[in-house]
Amino acid sequence: MLVDSHGRNINYVRLAVTDRCNLRCFYCMPEEGIDYVARQELLTYEEMVRVINIMTDLGIEKLRITGGEPFLRKDLMDFIRQVVRSPLKEIHITTNGTLTKEFIPELKDLGIKSINLSLDSLDRERFKTITRRDELHKVLDTLDSLLTHEIPTKINMVVMEGRNTEDIIPMANLAAEKLVDVRYIEEMPFNGTGAENSGTTWDFRKIYGVLQSEYPDIRKEQVPSGATSTKYSVPGFQGSLGIIAAYSRTFCGTCNRIRVTPKGMIRTCLYDQGVFNIRDLMRQNASDKQIGDAIADAVKHKAVDGFAAEKQRGSFPISESMSTIGG
């Protein structure tokens, strides 16, 4: 079992299989994109499977496959077929939905626990402005297919001043009509530009105020320890609503996760710089025990919260793209 110095049981890993993305969401990367990792610098699928097996031996039970856009990586389904044979209890995927639809029947058959679908607007023009691509129809087709195949689905909407706040209620109405969880996320500073971010103008309080004004009967629900989202129900809704205070970092106290970037960097917090590179250890012929010991030591020194992790960066301000981290 992996336990940090704050007594938190770490049983969840987020694995970014690529830093590439076919969208250009302005809060994630510049319009011209980023300098993508060279193929030889990426973790191979074989290395990823080894990492997962080592981590499950240490008590990791839940895996989320992320990117970039994970379905851009060649042969991703072959990797997923391998991973489902591991001792992991839960496998989840986060995707932008533009390339996902054709794989949904097999994802259902493989027992994927849930899909998180990134969707920041239901309006075609606003979607195109945010993502710099005209792909909303593909995402909505994917959403319909996920629901048809009864794969539990969460929609992740980043709330941004002047961009999509008018979509908060229309997005909530999806949960009224469909069995889907809609989660509103505070905007974070990982836009790949290095521009200073003084904080989001749409924090969890402001988002909740809009929801409460529209749905006076909204009520807070219990969530499991480690959940990042505050969950809400509205009478008559098929699905639920949630708010992720990703910038305010109100959920850090029960954090149960670590991250692996496409290059193999272990990050014990979204806001840290990375602790050590597991890819380099493997390519230096480290044993499974040596790698496991390095992971356990990193977890032991996990920061108490995102503010402490960001402070430890010192003179290295946040400048990376979210697609290089895996969220």
Amino acid at 95: T
Sign of the alpha-carbon torsion through 206, 143, 61, 275: negative
Cβ contacts of 289-298, under 8 Å, gap ≥ 24? 291/51, 291/54, 292/54, 292/57, 292/58, 294/266, 295/2, 295/54, 295/55, 295/58, 295/258, 295/266, 296/2, 296/58, 298/258, 298/266, 298/268
* Per-residue confidence (pLDDT) for residue 189, from 0 to 100: 76
* Per-residue confidence (pLDDT) for residue 141, from 0 to 100: 98
* Per-residue confidence (pLDDT) for residue 315, from 0 to 100: 66
> Biggest alpha carbon distance in the chain?
59
Q: Please name the helix (run of DSSP H) or strand (run of DSSP E) that holds residue 242, with its range, or none.
A: strand 240-244
> What is the rounded distance in angstroms from the CA atom of residue 115 to the CA atom of residue 147?
10
Number of H helices, E strands in the chain: 10, 14
308 exposed, middle or buried (CB, 10 Å; 0-12, 13-18, 19+)? Answer: middle
Structural domains in the chain plus CATH codes: 2-324 (3.20.20.70)
> What is the rounded distance in angstroms from the CA atom of residue 138 to the CA atom of residue 100?
9
* Per-residue confidence (pLDDT) for residue 84, from 0 to 100: 97
If DSSP codes are grouped into helix, strand and coil, which group holds residue 73? coil
* Per-residue confidence (pLDDT) for residue 26, from 0 to 100: 82
**How far from the centroid of its chain's Cα atoms is residue 277's Cα?**
20
* Per-residue confidence (pLDDT) for residue 100, from 0 to 100: 98
* Per-residue confidence (pLDDT) for residue 28, from 0 to 100: 81
pLDDT in tens, the chain (327 residues): 899 999 999 999 999 999 999 999 988 877 776 677 788 999 999 999 999 999 999 999 999 999 999 999 999 999 999 999 999 999 999 999 999 999 999 999 999 999 999 999 999 999 999 999 999 999 999 999 999 999 999 999 999 999 999 999 999 999 999 999 999 999 987 765 555 554 578 999 999 999 999 999 999 999 999 999 999 999 999 999 999 999 999 999 999 999 999 999 999 999 998 899 999 999 999 999 999 999 999 999 999 999 999 898 876 666 676 666 776
Sign of the alpha-carbon torsion through 66, 71, 73, 77: positive
Termini Cα distance of the chain: 24
The pTM assigned to this predicted structure is 0.94
Least Cα distance to 139 among 180, 111, 110 occurs for 180
How are the residues of the chain apportioned to helix, strand and coil, as percentages rounded to the nearest 5? Answer: 35, 20, 45
What one-character-per-residue DSSP string does 146-209 give? HHHTT--EEEEEEE-TTTTGGGHHHHHHHHHHSS-EEEEEE--S-BSS-------SS-HHHHHH
CA distances from 111 to 89, 90, 92, 143, 225 (A): 10, 9, 9, 18, 23
